[in-house]
Amino acid sequence: MVLAGTLLYSVVLHELAHGWAALLFGDPTARDRGRLSFKPWRHLDPIGTVLLFVAGFGWARPVPVVFGYLRPRRLGLLVVSAAGVVVNIIVAFLSLLLYQHLQPTHGSPAAVALLSLAQVNVALASFNLIPVPPLDGARLLSAFASTRVQRLLGWVEPFGFLLVLALLYTRVLDPVIGAIRSGILTVIALLLP
């Protein structure tokens, strides 16, 4: 239950970060639709939420972003795409920093909660950095890519969710996710005192 709760709020923070970044770069869509809220039910996807509690894996409804509103466009795309992942990494870092500072007894509720929060956020950041649409990694790639590559990513996006599920099921992405996770943990370790 701790895992599902931390995952739920971590996913909500991830989506909120996208919405706030979009607003900062000129897109009021998430704000106008009431999605810049810390209330979890505004972000819940019925299937993704059930899976959070049943399988320990799930998702929230993506915060709506109209990329045409973003100014400057490429920088806006880059920041909006990175915002959710950056928030997940910050939450993981702060959880480990607090764990290190408080030094809770191993196995205590505080220790379990802080370590769970860190693990969930590192996992979310790692997963979302996979460069397959509709994940953030594909949007980050798009911010640097040529128009031709952007079109290709746009063409793949309607099928992206099924593609991601197939790649996860076949475990093809395990080495990629592992490498991204190692990189994130290295950065966090360097930042910890």
Report d(CA 90, CA 145) in Å as an integer. 27
- Residues 66/4, Cβ–Cβ less than 8 Å: no
Write out the two tokens for 89. Answer: 């990494």
Identify the active-site residue in 7, 13, 15, 121.
15
Active site residue 15: yes
Q: What are phi and psi of 28, to 5 degrees?
A: -85, 5
Q: What are phi and psi of 78, to 5 degrees?
A: -65, -50
Give the residue among 44, 1, 20, 11 at the shortest CA–CA distance from 127. 11
Give the residue among 128, 136, 13, 26 at the shortest CA–CA distance from 71. 26
Count of other CB atoms within 10 angstroms of residue 54: 10
Report d(CA 53, CA 178) in Å as an integer. 24
For the CA atoms of 67, 126, 48, 45, the dihedral, rounded to the nearest 10 degrees, stands at -30
* Residues that are catalytic: 15
